[in-house]
Amino acid sequence: MGAIKQFLAEVNEQLRQITWPTQEEIIRLTSVVLFVTIIASILFGGIDLLLTKLMAIVALWQ
């Protein structure tokens, strides 16, 4: 039990040393992640649509 208490005390000490982001940083970084995710989704969706149409054209030729 002493080892577990020692471990938890060290974990608590490490958590106190963390520099947590401010609310403004969280909002800004979350916005960046959402923006990149939306752009990537549009890009991959467009590529998927293009390839689907291309495959339909190729299938008609055969």
Q: Map 15-57 to HEC letters.
A: HHCCCCCCHHHHHHHHHHHHHHHHHHHHHHHHHHHHHHHHHHH
Q: How far apart are CA 50 and CA 43, in angstroms?
A: 11
Q: How far apart are CA 17 and CA 20, in angstroms?
A: 9
Residue indicated by tokens 């054209």: 57
| pLDDT-based confidence at residue 1 (cuts at 50, 70, 90) | confident
pTM of the model: 0.68
State the pLDDT at residue 8. 95
Does the pLDDT at position 10 exceed 90? yes
Tell me the per-residue pLDDT of 12-59, one tens digit each, with 9 for 90 and over.
Answer: 999 999 999 999 999 999 999 999 999 999 999 999 999 999 999 998
State the pLDDT at residue 62. 74
Q: Which long-range contacts (CB under 8 A, 24 or more apart) does 21-29 make?
A: none
